[in-house]
Amino acid sequence: MKLLPSFVILAVFFAGVPTIFAQANASPAQPVDFFQKLAEAAEARTKESVRYDPAYVVLNYPGGDVPADTGVCTDVVIRTYRALRIDLQKLVHEDMKANFSKYPKNWELKRADKNIDHRRVPNLQRYFERVGAKLPISQKAAGYEVGDLVAWDLNNKGLWHIGVVVGEDKFVHNIGSGPIYDTGIAGWKIVGHYRFKPKGWEPVAEKKVE
């Protein structure tokens, strides 16, 4: 058997040293805070230029969306969750198809509609209730945490609205001029409080090399 020269052996050995040290210095994968990620995704929505437009639009399914430069309050929530690979269009539609009688009858529909159902606040509220995401309503901002969803009745006559809590008494919503930061969670009548994380949602946590 022909032996390799000593300088070749040393070269091979030291070539692997950086990898060994990198692995030794790699920090353990950090757990991902789902609701913090959700809040960050909502905050990212404020950087987008969106014109308020409640028009009915025929959507692809699943993963359908209205044009990126249009939307309403529910689209902030839908797009925020979609940034975390969660499709509320599909989730709501599947549940409504199977349990249509359990959903509000505000629009006199006779069957589920994949194009619009998930874009209506009462339907989102009912879905969140059905999957166990409903929390007690508080009229104090301290009762809401980062990543929570809040639904309001803006005029006490059924003008529904929804937003994502991103900080202490701070939330992101679209009330007519595109996604914006706002404060004053208790400024309108609160009619819903939710904290929704789908079962089985597990991100791939990255290891950081120090």
Residue-level pLDDT at 14: 41
Residue at 149 is within a domain: yes
Percent of the chain, pLDDT > 70? 81
**Strand, coil or helix: what is 20?**
helix
Structure token digits, residue 103? 């959903």
Confidence of residue 106 (pLDDT cuts 50, 70, 90): very high
Task: Indicate the range of 102-106, 135-139, 205-209 predicted with least confidence.
Answer: 205-209
Q: Which residues contact 139 (CB under 8 A, 6 or more apart)?
A: 186, 190
Position with higher pLDDT, 83 vs 205: 83
Confidence of residue 29 (pLDDT cuts 50, 70, 90): low
Query: Other CB atoms closer than 10 Å to residue 46's CB: what's the count?
Result: 17
Position with higher pLDDT, 209 vs 187: 187
- Rounded average pLDDT over 68-89: 98
What is the number of domains present in the chain? 1
Q: Which residues contact 207 (CB under 8 A, 6 or more apart)?
A: 26, 27, 28, 29
**Residues 173, 73: Cα–Cα separation, whole Å:** 6
Residue at 4 is within a domain: no
Residue-level pLDDT at 23: 46
- CATH number (domain holding residue 127): 3.90.1720.10
Residue at 58 is within a domain: yes
Residue-level pLDDT at 27: 52
Q: What's the one-letter identity of residue 208?
A: K
Residue-level pLDDT at 32: 80
Threshold 0.75, pTM exceeds: yes
Residue-level pLDDT at 124: 98
Task: Show the domain range for 178.
Answer: 32-194
Query: Other CB atoms closer than 10 Å to residue 111's CB: what's the count?
Result: 8
- Rounded average pLDDT over 80-102: 98
- Rounded average pLDDT over 39-58: 98
Confidence of residue 28 (pLDDT cuts 50, 70, 90): low
Residue at 27 is within a domain: no
CB 104 within 8 A of CB 158: no
How many residues can be counted in the chain? 210
Structure token digits, residue 54? 């409640």
- CB neighbour class for 32 (10 Å; exposed up to 12, middle 13-18, buried from 19): middle
**Strand, coil or helix: what is 93?**
helix
What average pLDDT does the chain have? 88
Structure token digits, residue 170? 């701070």
Nearest to 152 by CA among 180, 111, 194, 117: 194
